[in-house]
Amino acid sequence: MQIDKISARLRLRNNWEAIDLGFSLARQWFLRLWLLWLVPATIVTALSLSLIDSVLLALVVAWWLQPLYERPLLHFLSRALFGEYPSVRRELRHYWQLVKPQLLVTILWRRFHPGRSFVEPVALLEGLKGKARSQRLSVLGLGTSGTAIWFGLLCWLFGRTLDGSQITLLYMLLPEELNLWFMENIASRLLSWQQGEDLHWLAALVWLTSTSLVAPFFIAGGFALYLSRRTRLEGWDIELAFRRMANRQQKRAANGGKAGAALALTLCLCGALLAPPAPASEYSKTPDLQADKTLAEEIAAQPEFGELETREVWRPIEKEKPKAERNWFEKLRGFFEWLEKVLPALGLFLKVVIVLLLVALIVWLIIRFTSWLDWLNLPGKGKRRKQTPPSSLFGLELGRESLPDDVAASALKLLENDHIREAISLLFRAALSHMVHHSELPISDSSTEGECLRLAERHRPASELGYFRRLTDTWLLLAYAHQPPSAEHTRELCQNWAQHYRDERSAESGSVS
C-alpha cells in the first residue's frame, strides 16, 4: 500500500461525510463496480432459478448470497483507492480467491448484519479472524458502528425505492386500458407475494436492477467509513503530510538552501574524504573493532538512519488452485433449459426497451425539430419596437448630414485626386447610410460588414444587392487586406452608385427641401 498514491483526499471527516466520500468513489468507478456486482449476481440468480424448482425459493437463495457479489467490489475499491485499477476481467478471474476467506460465517450469520459493508474490510482486507477480529471491530466501531448499521438500512430502503420506482414507471408507461389489468395481475400479486412464475421473473429483474445500482454505493460507503475510521485512529492524513514535508526538505537540501541541510548533504556525499579532522584522528588512534561497532551503532541510531517504518500491505489470501474439470455438456444443457425459462421474461424486457426507445425517439424528434419553439424565446415587444438606426458602423459615420449631397460626384472627384481609399469608403458609407435610414434595415450598431450583407440579401432587390456585394468586397479587401482596387473598377463603382441609390435619395431630399 503506497499511501502517497491515494486518489481520495484524506482528512478528518465525520461519519456521514465519510459515507459521502464513498458515494463519490462509487460514482467515479461506477461502471466497473456495477459490472463486478452484476456479473456474479446474474449468474448465481440464473443458476439458482434453473436448479431449484420453486422460483420463490430460488430468488431467496440469490438474495441470501448477496455477500458473494459484494466482496469483489470491496477488493476493487481497496486497490483503486491507491492508484491501481484492476480490470473487471482480472477480478472475475480471481473471483474465488476474493470470495473465499471466512465465506461460511459471512453467508450465515454475518449476512444479516446491516452494517456489513463496514465490518467486511476487517475480515477481507486485514484478514483477521475470531477474537482478533472482534477486538479490532470494537476499536474501529467505537462511535461508528451505529452509523454503519443505519447506513445499511438506508441503502436497503434506497433499493426498495428503486424497486417501487421501476414498477411505478412501468405502470405509467402502460396504456390506460391496461391499468386495471396491471393492478389486478401484477401490482396486487407482487404485494401479496403470490405464486406465479412469470411474476417472479419480473421481480428478479426488478430486484437485480435496483440492488445492483445501490450495491456500489453501499460497499463504497462502508469502505469509506472504515477508511475514515482508520485515518482518525492512525493519522493517515498526517502521515501523508509529513512525507510531503520530508520530501520538500530533501529537495531543499539538494538545492543547498539551508546551512544545516547542506552540511548533511556534504557529509552524505563525501563523508570519508572531507571528514572533520577530529573524528579522523580518533579513528586513527583506536583501531578497535568493538569501538567501531559501537560507533556504527551510534551512527545508525542517528535520525538520518533511524527511520522506523511499518508497511501495511493488503493482499488477498490468494492461492493457486488447479482448475477443476468441467462437464461442458451438462452446462450447455442447463443453459438451454435456462434459456427456455428466460425467454418469456426476455420478451417482456424487450417490450419495455422498445417502449423506452420509442419515447426517447419522440423526445429527440421534439427537441430536434422544435425550432418553432424559439418563438417563445423572443422578447414580447421585440417586433413592434422600432430600432433607432445606428449612428456609426465599424467606425464609419452614418449620419446623413455627414455625407455630401452628390455622393457619386464627390467620390469621382476623390478618385481623380488619387484618393481611392477615401472614395471607396465614401461610397460604402453612403450605401450603408441609405440602407439604414432609407430602407430601414434592422442593422444594429454591433453588426459587421458580413451581417449587413446578409441582411441586404434578405431585404433588398437583386440588382441593388449585386452592386452592394461588389462594393462590400472591394471595401473589405481595401480596408482589411490593404489591396486597393484598380482605378477603372473604382470609377465603375462610382458611376453605378447613382443608379441604385441616387434616385430615391434625390427624390427624398427634394421632398424634404
Partner 1 sequence: MIDTLRHYETPEGIELKLPLAGPAVRASAWLIDILIRSAIYLIAWWILSFLGKVGRGGFLLMAFLLEWFYPVVFEAIRGATPGKKVMGLLVCQDNGTPLSWSASLLRNLLRVVDFLPFFYGFGLLSTLLNRDFKRLGDLAAGTVVVYAPDKNSEKPLPEQKPLPPPYPLDLTEQQAITNFAERSSSFSDARARELASLLAPMTQAPAEKATNTLHGYAQWLRKGG
Partner 2 sequence: MKQQAFEQLYKERWEQFDRLLDDLDQRRPQLPLEQRQQLPALYRRLCAHYALAQQRHYSPHLVAVLHQRVMRGHQHLYRSKSSGLWRLLEFLWVTFPNQLRRHHRHFWLATALFYLPAIFFGIACYQDGDMIYSLMPDGSVARMEYMYDPANEQVGRDSERKADSDIMMLGHYIWNNVSIDFRSFALGILAAIGTVLITLFNGFSIGGVAGHLSQLGFTETFWPFVSGHGPFELTALTIATAAGLRLGQPLLSPGPYRRIDALKIAAGESIQLLIGAAVMTTAAAFIEAFWSPNPNIPIPVKYGFSALMWVITILYLWRAGRGRSTPRAARAN
Q: Provide the binding-site residues for partner 2, judged by CB under 8 A.
A: 363, 366-367, 370-371, 373-380
Min dist CB 240 to partner 2, Å, is 17
Q: Which is nearer to partner 1, 151 or 501 (CB)?
A: 151
CA-wise closest residue to 435 among 450, 455, 421: 455
Q: Give just the sign of the alpha carbon dihedral 465, 471, 473, 479.
A: negative
Q: Which is nearer to partner 1, 18 or 456 (CB)?
A: 18
Residue 16 touches which of partner 2, partner 1, none (Cβ within 5-8 Å per kind): partner 1
Cα 171-176-180 angle, rounded to 5 deg? 70
* Contact status: 34 vs partner 1 (CB under 8 A): no
Task: Kindly state the cell numbers that stand for 460.
Answer: 433588398
Candidates 306-314, 328-336, 371-379, 400-408 — which segment interacts with partner 1 by CB under 8 A?
Answer: 306-314
Residue 237 touches which of partner 2, partner 1, none (Cβ within 5-8 Å per kind): partner 1
Min dist CB 162 to partner 1, Å, is 6
Task: Kindly state the cell numbers that stand for 279.
Answer: 573524528
Backbone angles phi, psi at 365, to 5 degrees: -60, -45
Q: Give just the sign of the alpha carbon dihedral 65, 67, 71, 72.
A: positive
Burial class (CB in 10 A: 0-12, 13-18, 19+), 198: middle
* Contact status: 168 vs partner 1 (CB under 8 A): yes
Q: What is the DSSP letter of 318?
A: -
Min dist CB 103 to partner 2, Å, is 46
> Total binding residues for partner 1 by CB under 8 A?
61
Which residues are CB-neighbours of 451 under 8 A, at least 6 positions away?
443
Binding mask 209-238 for partner 1 (x = CB under 8 A): ----x---x---x----------xxxx-xx
Min dist CB 382 to partner 2, Å, is 11
Min dist CB 244 to partner 2, Å, is 16
Task: Kindly state the cell numbers that stand for 39.
Answer: 456479473
Gyration radius from the chain CA atoms: 41
Backbone angles phi, psi at 503, to 5 degrees: -50, -55
Q: Which residues bind partner 1 (CB under 8 A)?
A: 7-9, 14, 16-17, 19-21, 23-25, 27-28, 150-151, 154-155, 157-158, 161-162, 164-165, 167-169, 172, 213, 217, 221, 232-235, 237-239, 241-243, 245-246, 248-250, 252-253, 258, 260-261, 264, 301-304, 306-310
